[in-house]
Amino acid sequence: MSTKAHTKAHTVHPQRGLRIALLANCTIELLQRPLANALNERGFEADFWVGGFGQYRQAILDPDSALYDFAPDIVLLYLDGEDLFPEVLENPFDLDTDRRQQLARSRIDELEALTTHLGKRLPQATLLLNTVTIPPLNTLVGLEYNSDYSVRDVISGYNTGLARLAHRSPSVVVVDVESLVAWLGFARWRDPRLWYLARMRWSREAIQALAERYAATIAGRLGQMRKCLVLDLDNILWGGIVGEEGVAGIKLGEEGIGLAYVEFQMELLNLYRKGILLAICSKNNPADALEVLRSHPAMRLREEHFAAMRINWEDKATNLRAIAEELNIGLDSLVFVDDNPVERAWVREALPEVYVPEWPDDPSDFKTALLELEVSHFHKLAITEEDRRRGELYRAQAQRRKLQATATSLEDFYRSLEMRATIGVADSFTIPRIAQLTQKTNQFNLTTRRYTEAEITDLANSPESLVYWLELTDRFGSNGIVGVLILRALTKETWLVDTFLLSCRVMGRTVENAFLGFACDVLRAKGAKKLIGEYRPTAKNAPVADLYPRLGFRLVEQRQDSQLWELDLERQQVEIPEWFEIVLVSEGAHA
C-alpha cells in the first residue's frame, strides 16, 4: 500500500522556482525527470544542471565551472558506495581494521574539503549528501561477523562521518539512502543490465523511490510540509463502531488485531512528539467517543494530544474547515485519514487543498501507512524545542480563547493574559528556530523571505544587519519563540525591515506593536533616523497588508510586487502596549 495516491490531484501550491544541480560518481541523468515531477507535485518548478559522469570533483573545484554559473539553490551530490569504495569489494582480504578505518576517514575528509569549497562559492545553497550501502551479497558472507575481515565497518564509519559533517555544517543535509535501500531491498534497488549498459547504479523502481525521497527532503528543508494530521475515530483509532458496540466492544488492546490499533496510536504519539498537530474529525456521538478517549485502558492517545476535535454529525469538509480556522492554519496544512472511501472522495472533491491518502482496509498495515505519510508529508530534518512542545502550546491556546470569550473588552483580555515578551539576538541555540519560522510562516509575514540556517548565521554575524527573536509568555505558559525581526542597514541613518514575522498562534495580541516598538528604540540608540518597512503581498499574507499604515508609516514607493513604507524615527514612535513586559536576554539585545 502506498499513501502517495492522489498527490498530484491535491497539488494546489503556487509554484516556487528552484535551481538544482545534479552531481554523482555514477550516471544520474535519469533521476532528473522523476525528481522534477515529484517536486512539481509539492509546488516547486525546478530547473536542472547536470554534471558530467563522475566529474563532481572537477565541477566543485574548478572556479570557472558551469556549476557556479548556474548558481543552484540545491546541490544534490550522490555518491554510490560501490564507486566510492571499490577496493572494499575488489579485495577485502587486503584491508585490515586500521586500513578500513583510515579509508572511511579519508573519504569523509575529502568530502568535507569539497563541502567547504562549495560553501565558499555558493554560501546560500543547500548540499544534499547521501548515506551509502554496498551489496549485502558479497564474498565475505559468513566471514563478516566471524573473522577480522569486514566491508560493513567501512560503510558504517563513512555514514557516521556524514552525520558529524552535517552537524558541523548547517548547509549540509544527509539523505538516508541506506535505509531506503534496506526497505526496498537491494535486489530490487539494482538492475545489473542498467549498470553494464549505462553505468546506472539504480533500477527504475529505485530511481522513483529516490526521486520521492529527495523531493520530500527538499520540501522539508524549505518548509513545505503539512502541519496537522486529522483522524477519523471508528475503524481508525480503534476497531468497530463505538456507538453500536460500546466501549467494551471495540477492538483495542494488547492482543490480536486490537494490538494493531495500539501500535498505530503509538506511532501517532511519535508524530505528536515531533511537533505535528493531531486533530479529530469524526461522525459520532460525542459522549461515546470521549468515553473511549478518557477511560479506555488501552488508549495511548488522550484528549490532551489533540489540538482540535470535531465530533458531531456535520459533513467532514465543513468540520475540516472549522479545524483549520480554529488552529489558524491553511487547509493545505491538513492531511485527513478516514477509513470510508466515500468520505475520502467527498473531502477530495470539496477541499482539494487537503491531502487525503488512500488508506488500507487491514489495520495491520496502518502503522506502515503512517510511516509512509511521515516521510512524504511530515518530513522533518530537525526538531526544535517548540516542535516538541507544539501540542502543549496549542492546548494553552484553547485556554486563551476561553478567557477571551469571557473578557469585557480586548484591552481587559490583553491585561489578563499577563504577557511577557522576551527578546534576544540570534545565536547558535536560536538560529534553527529562526530559520524554521522564515521557512514556514505565511500569514503574518511581511516579506515571506525564506532563509536557511546558514543564511541566518551570515546575517547574524554581519555588522550591517540585526537579527532578533521574540518569545512570548503569558499566564498559561510559554508560546515558545514566535517572532523574528531582521533589520538591514541601508545607510548609517536608514534601516530596512528585511523580515518581520509572527507565528499565527499569537496573531491578534498586539505583539507586533511591542516588537517593532522595541526595534525603533534600538535603532534610535544607533543613530538611525528612518525605518523603511517593506510589504510584499502573497496569497496568504493579506492579514498584514495594513500593518505599516496602522503603525504610522507612510507610503513612499509603490512597486510592481511590493510597497515601501517609511517611519520618521526622529518624530514618530511605535508605542509598546502597556500590557507587555519586555525582557532582554542579554546586553547584546541593546546593540
pLDDT tens per residue across span 123-173 = 889 999 999 999 998 888 888 889 888 889 999 999 999 999 998 888 899
**Coil vs helix vs strand at 409:** coil
pLDDT, position 5: 38
Beta bridge pairs of residue 311 = 282
DSSP β-ladder status, 74-78 and 277-283: unpaired
Q: Give the distance between the most distant pair of CA atoms in the chain.
A: 82
Q: 65 with 183, same domain?
A: yes
The reply to whether 64 and 182 lie within a common domain is yes
Q: Which one of 177, 195, 221 terminates a domain? A: 221
In a domain, 118, yes or no: yes
Same domain as 466, residue 354? no
Same-domain pairing of 428 and 564: yes
Same domain, 242 and 290: yes
Residue 74: the pLDDT is 96
Residue environment code for 430-465, b if the CB has 16+ CB neighbours within 10 A, otherwise e: bbbbbbbbbbbbbbbbbbbebbbbbbbbebbeeeeb
- Model confidence pTM above 0.85: no
Residue 91 lies inside a defined structural domain of this protein: yes
Residue 495 forms part of a structural domain: yes
Q: Which domain holds residue 39?
A: 8-221
Domain assignment of residue 401, yes or no? no
The pLDDT of residue 78: 97
* Helices and strands counted in the chain (H then E): 24, 17
Task: Please identify, among 221, 252, 279, the residue that sits at the C-terminal boundary of a domain.
Answer: 221
Place of cell 484553547: 398
| Residue 203 sits in the same domain as residue 324 | no
| CB-CB contact of 397 with 440 (8 Å) | no
- Do residues 46 and 147 both lie within one domain? yes
- Whether the Cβ atoms of residue 277 and residue 225 lie closer than 8 Å to each other: no
Three-class SS state of 81: helix
Q: Could you tell me which residues are beta bridge partners of residue 583?
A: 422
C-alpha cell at 429: 541555540
Q: Which DSSP string do the residues of 128-182 spell out, in sequence order? A: EEE-----SSSTTTTTTTTSS--SHHHHHHHHHHHHHHHHH-TTEEEE-HHHHHH
- Split into its structural domains, the chain has a count of 3
Query: Is there a single domain that holds both residue 183 and residue 313?
Result: no
Phi/psi class of residue 495: alpha, beta or left (left: φ > 0; alpha: ψ in -120 to 50)?
Answer: beta
The segments of the chain whose pLDDT lies below 70 read 1-15, 398-399, 402, 408, 586-591
The CATH number that applies at residue 518 is: 3.40.630.30
pLDDT at 15: 60
Among 221, 249, 270, which residue terminates a domain? 221
For residues 205 and 316, membership in a common domain is answered with no
CATH of the domain at 258: 3.40.50.1000
Written as nine digits, the cell of 478 is 510559554
Which residue pairs, CB below 8 angstroms and at least 24 apart, start in 521-524?
A: 522/466, 522/589, 522/590, 522/591, 523/487, 523/495, 523/569, 524/569
Q: Which amino acid is at 528?
A: A
Residue 402 to residue 75: CA distance in whole angstroms: 48
In a domain, 2, yes or no: no
- Both 114 and 194 in one domain: the answer is yes
In CATH, what number is assigned to the domain containing residue 39? 3.40.50.1110
Identify whether residues 569 and 488 lie together within a single domain: yes
My answer on whether 420 and 438 are in the same domain is yes
Residue 384, in any domain of the structure: no
Question: Are 11 and 43 a contacting pair, CB within 8 Å?
Answer: yes
Q: How far apart are CA 369 and CA 352, in angstroms?
A: 21
Residue 402 in domain: no
- Is residue 199 a part of any domain in this protein? yes
